[in-house]
């Protein structure tokens, strides 16, 4: 039996998968990917994402307003997110965060949206999923300010930021998620950041359909390929693959406790 892992972040509602979703999920399971969390990035699409989780036992879901669309979408409310969280397979608030690389002009709106999502994570007890790009100082500051105002749990999804932001997140008790970026040949510094992190705070993901690891780089990513990233993670931590996979499963279960407790009806 293959070691089991979880793709903690993918986008199965994207058009890239529309014509073959059952096959994509079947390939993931065949690769040892026993669970997937599919992420809704615009709340108006929540019903579509929820339907995927309802249709496929291995799939859970989360929702938020993505920072890059925060200026285009109605501002989310805490109550709206709390209501979504009542679904039995809704397991996290996200992805939210800050992205100043493409959308710096909306930074004030992004920061307001982020704080709303953090409060929803507090009220629901669900983990927050953070997208951070080119905004390390503001991200570290807001995460720390909000954590001091009231604790919450969090994963830095597709972590590829600075060592300083990684350490700030870890110091708050948060998790770092390893994507295909960590397997790129030029990502030596990023692998070093992961290697210095506690092993019990590491997750794996694809961010599919983006960021496929070698040998699929440049092509569509899919949840099955998270096994390839996990293999790189095992090398980074100098662990047998089965041991690394088992530890990331424990980590996922600890952070995503609602997914770990879910049983099919």
Binding residues for a divalent metal cation: 9, 11, 95, 131, 157, 207
CB atoms within 10 A of CB 239: 15
> Is 180:229 a contact under the CB 8 Å cutoff?
yes
Query: Is 9 within 8 Å of 33 (Cβ atoms)?
Result: no
User: Tokens 């590491």 label which residue?
Assistant: 202
Strand ranges (E), the chain: 5-10, 33-40, 59-63, 90-99, 128-133, 154-156, 175-178, 202-204
Contact assessment for residue 67 and residue 49, using Cβ atoms and an 8 Å cutoff: no
Q: How far is the CA of 53 from the CAs of 21, 28, 142, in angstroms?
A: 12, 15, 31
Q: Output DSSP code: residue 36.
A: E
Output the known binding site: 9, 11, 95, 131, 157, 207
């Amino acid at each position: 039996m293959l070691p089991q892992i979880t793709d903690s972040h993918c986008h199965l509602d994207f058009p890239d998968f529309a014509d073959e979703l059952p096959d994509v999920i079947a390939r993931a399971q065949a690769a040892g990917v026993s669970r997937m969390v599919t992420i809704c990035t615009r709340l108006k699409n929540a019903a579509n994402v929820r339907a995927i989780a309802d249709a496929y036992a291995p799939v859970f879901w989360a929702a938020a307003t993505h920072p890059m669309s925060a200026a285009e979408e109605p501002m989310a409310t805490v109550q709206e997110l709390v209501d979504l969280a009542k679904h039995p397979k809704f397991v996290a608030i996200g992805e939210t965060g800050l992205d100043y690389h493409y959308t710096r002009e909306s930074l004030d709106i992004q920061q307001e949206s982020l704080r709303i999502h953090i409060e929803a994570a507090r009220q629901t007890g669900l983990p927050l999923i953070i997208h951070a790009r080119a905004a390390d100082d503001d991200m570290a500051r807001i995460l720390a300010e909000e954590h001091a105002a009231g604790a919450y749990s969090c994963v830095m999804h597709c972590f590829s930021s600075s060592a300083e932001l990684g350490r700030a997140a870890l110091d708050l008790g948060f998790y770092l998620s390893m994507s295909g970026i960590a397997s790129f040949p030029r990502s030596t510094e990023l692998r070093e950041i992961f290697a210095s992190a506690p092993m019990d705070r590491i997750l794996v993901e694809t961010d599919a359909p983006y960021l496929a690891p070698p040998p699929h780089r440049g092509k569509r990513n899919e949840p099955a390929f998270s096994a390839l990233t996990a293999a790189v993670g095992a090398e980074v931590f100098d662990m047998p693959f089965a041991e690394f996979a088992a530890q990331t499963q424990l980590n996922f279960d600890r952070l995503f406790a609602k997914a770990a407790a879910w049983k099919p009806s």
